[in-house]
Amino acid sequence: MMLNKLKKLLIIQEDDAYFLFETLQVIEKNIAILKEFEIHILVDEKALSTLQETIDPIISGITTDSEKILNTEFDISFNLSHNTKSLSCHTQVKAKNKVGPYFEENRLIVPDLWSTYYLTLKGGAPFLTFHLQDIFRNILGVKRKAFEEKKPENFKIIAFGHFKSHLMTGDDLEVLIDKVHKHYPSLQIRDLSEIDLVSDLSRVLYVGPTCLNSLRICEGGATGLYLTSHFQGLNLLPYGPGHTYTSSRGKAYKTQDVFAMIERKLNHQPLYDNPAISIYGIDHENLYGAYVQSLNTSDDHYPIYQSHVVLWNFLLNLFESNLDITHCSTSQTNLIKANQVVLKKLLRIHDYAMSAVEKIHREAKNQSTSATNIEAHVKTLTEIDSVFEHIAASHSMLRPFLDFYKIRKGQNEGKTLLEQAQSTFIAYSEEHQSLTALDELFSVTLKRNEVNI
């Protein structure tokens, strides 16, 4: 009896080590679901070398040989990279089905919504709305696995990361370490670089800023107390419960504040409410992934992050999320109002775009089409899109949505003028609806906080 031949699956991940690490995490965690495939992963040599400094990835099929990949036929290929090298490679790959960006007849093709969303991160998104593992998992079409329950451990080791002066000065860090040693003499205090990835990490508490090595030990079982200066969403955070993410909101951390958080972590207590420090946990909201939950006073960006979570879940998954609206500070409501003013201007400009699109659509249906009229309306759209690009460049909170629909509008596959007009009409209509929804989300947050709009 002949065995069924495995389908060939290619993943292109030639970005830096952080992206490669997260890609390998997704594959390792879902390897049973992908058992029908022979997996090939094209990676960057430098990124692979960085990850192999201490331990080899356990997934076979990893290669840096792009020539070999281009001479192989695949059933399906995924481009999980942002760089132009990977884009060119994916264009040349021989695959029956392609997911993620590639070129076809000099036109950028991005067939799926999650890859389109992923491309918006290139524009410098203000925060990562979805965890990178969730983004990759949804592009691959892998269903979510629930968090594994993390049982509290009696910590034996505290691993400190390398602090930059804007987070904590070297003198303050030395005072902090001495204080921990004095109050908890039985604990071993280690530098992050001294932690062995193949050892039992379940009793390690990491304290320090986000970095690749801290991510690796926390994915391996350690618990993280992450100290950052600004809200980053899910950027460089381990995927799972038990970890805590804090923000000093642009100020340096004080020794007594960090020591108090360490004490509560060691005793498995909720972190205290300190208005100077924003504290977040990672939680699941729905089938598609995790989100960051504010546990006390939050950064100015956090209420807008909540609006992004709700809207992106609907745009990408048609899933309605229910989040508790944050009690906003004055600076938070001011930031929302400032962005809403610009958003309302965008919507007014977009009304002109919709009018031009409708006129093009009518002209396309008319048997006696006027090329001059169509050209005039197309010129209007070009001018409006140029205005949108300028606004996107200067307003990071709105940019991801504008970039998303810029890519979506470029996916017009119409063969006739009417088909092209219909596709354009749908794309602009979807953009208008999403911007309107974002405006409504801002209004709901402001109204719940009793702010006059």
pLDDT tens, residue by residue, 140-185: 998 776 666 677 778 999 999 999 989 999 999 999 999 999 999 9
In DSSP terms, 104 is beta-bridged to 107
Give the tens place of pLDDT for each residue, 347-379. Answer: 999 999 999 888 888 888 776 666 777 888 889
CA distance 32 to 284: 22
CA atoms within 13 A on the CB side of 340: 22
Phi, psi of 76 (to 5 degrees): -150, 145
CA distance 347 to 57: 48
**Mean pLDDT, residues 384-410:** 94
Give the tens place of pLDDT for each residue, 232-273. Answer: 888 888 988 889 999 999 999 999 999 999 999 999 888 877
End-to-end CA distance of the chain: 72
CA distance 46 to 215: 18
CA distance 365 to 148: 56
CA distance 236 to 452: 37
Q: Given a cut of 80, is residue 40 above it in pLDDT?
A: yes
CA distance 435 to 251: 34
- Hey, is 79 helix, strand or coil? strand
Give the tens place of pLDDT for each residue, 318-355. Answer: 888 888 888 899 999 999 999 999 999 999 999 999 99
Place of tokens 């034996």: 156
Does the pTM surpass 0.75? The reply is: yes
> Pairing between strand 107-109 and 102-104?
antiparallel
**Tokens describing residue 241:** 């419960």
In DSSP terms, 108 is beta-bridged to 103
Domains along the chain with CATH numbers: 7-109 (3.40.50), 157-300 (3.40.50), 330-448 (1.20.120)
**Tokens describing residue 210:** 């986000």
CA distance 286 to 293: 13
**Tokens describing residue 1:** 């009896």
pLDDT, position 289 = 83
- Hey, is 201 helix, strand or coil? coil
Q: What is the DSSP string of 247-312?
A: E-TTSPPPHHHHHHHHHHHHTT-PPP--TTSEEEEEEEEETTEEEEEE-SS--TTHHHHHHHHHHH
CA distance 217 to 205: 10
Neighbours of 260 (CB within 10 A): 15
CA distance 437 to 211: 35
CA atoms within 13 A on the CB side of 40: 22
Q: What is the DSSP string of 10-46?
A: EEEE-S-HHHHHHHHHHHHHTTTTTTTEEEEEEE-HH
CA distance 422 to 434: 19
- Whole-number percent of the chain with pLDDT over 90: 66
How buried is residue 189: exposed, middle or buried, by Cβ count under 10 Å (0-12/13-18/19+)?
Answer: middle
